[in-house]
């Protein structure tokens, strides 16, 4: 049983599968609220934000990717797990770009679903993103505060998502040195599977866009090894 009753939002339009999943997760100690379409799930999320969202990709009224983007506009941290019958690599990448933390392809076993939920919640609830005592990190014209996930630029202050902040923190503390891919994957995603590696590539691309606010900074790919944050001045 979970240490605490962590509520789950389940958006699944298949009535049989939705009921089975909801009852199974309830039985395993995760109180689950089932919604049949994306609009109802969005209303449910706003009324009572859960500890984790499980979203079917193909739903009426609002698909899972659209719903995830809406959630990410107001909430950078609640983990999102996609359920889908789609198996194309492009669909998995779109899911990560929409803000997803994991992607489970139908058909799947109940045990695999439970293990993925437990792994996600372990990473997102067992410990804080960064220790609040972490000192601000200065690189180029930018200043990053790990404790608040705030990235200060000459023109604005940006609040990074959980994974963006953790990845930037690792890159900044390895500044001008190679951050091995395996280290980043195990530290942030929990393991170095193919899908987690693709997810990390998406977050590297996001950080590269953010760091364009200072033209002297680069995140370079060290082929076969990892990534390096450098100052090119």
Give 168-177 pLDDT, tens digit per residue: 988 988 888 8
More confident residue, 14 or 95: 14
Confidence of residue 139 (pLDDT cuts 50, 70, 90): confident
Q: Does the global pTM surpass 0.85? A: no
Confidence of residue 125 (pLDDT cuts 50, 70, 90): low
| Top mean-pLDDT range of 3-17, 62-76, 128-142 | 62-76
If you search the block for the tokens 């395993």, which residue do you land on?
28
* 115 close to 88: Cβ distance less than 8 angstroms: no
What is the per-residue pLDDT across 61-112, written as a single tens digit (0 to 9) for each? 889 999 999 888 878 788 999 998 776 667 778 888 888 888 888 888 999 9
Residues in Cβ contact with 199 at an 8 Å cutoff, skipping those fewer than 6 apart: 96, 101, 189
């Amino acid at each position: 049983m979970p240490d605490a009753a962590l509520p789950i939002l389940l958006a699944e339009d298949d009535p049989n599968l939705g009921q089975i999943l909801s009852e199974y997760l309830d039985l395993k100690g995760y109180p689950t609220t089932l919604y049949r379409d994306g609009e109802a799930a969005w209303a449910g999320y706003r009324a009572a934000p859960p500890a984790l969202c499980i979203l079917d990709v193909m739903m009426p009224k609002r698909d899972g990717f659209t719903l995830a983007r809406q959630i990410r506009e107001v909430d950078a941290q609640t983990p999102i797990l996609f359920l889908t019958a789609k198996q194309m690599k492009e669909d998995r990448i779109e899911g990560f770009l929409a803000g997803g933390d994991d992607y489970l392809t139908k058909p799947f076993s109940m045990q695999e679903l439970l293990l993925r939920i437990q792994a996600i919640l372990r990473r997102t609830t067992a410990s804080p993103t960064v220790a609040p005592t972490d000192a601000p990190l200065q690189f180029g014209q930018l200043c990053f505060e790990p404790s608040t996930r705030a990235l200060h630029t000459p023109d604005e202050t940006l609040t990074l998502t959980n994974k963006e902040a953790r990845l930037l923190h690792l890159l900044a503390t390895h500044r001008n040195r190679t951050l091995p891919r395996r280290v980043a994957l195990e530290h942030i995603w929990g393991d170095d599977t193919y899908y987690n590696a693709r997810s990390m590539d998406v977050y590297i691309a996001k950080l590269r866009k953010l760091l364009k606010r200072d033209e002297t900074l680069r995140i370079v790919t060290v082929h076969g090894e990892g990534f390096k944050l450098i100052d090119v001045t």
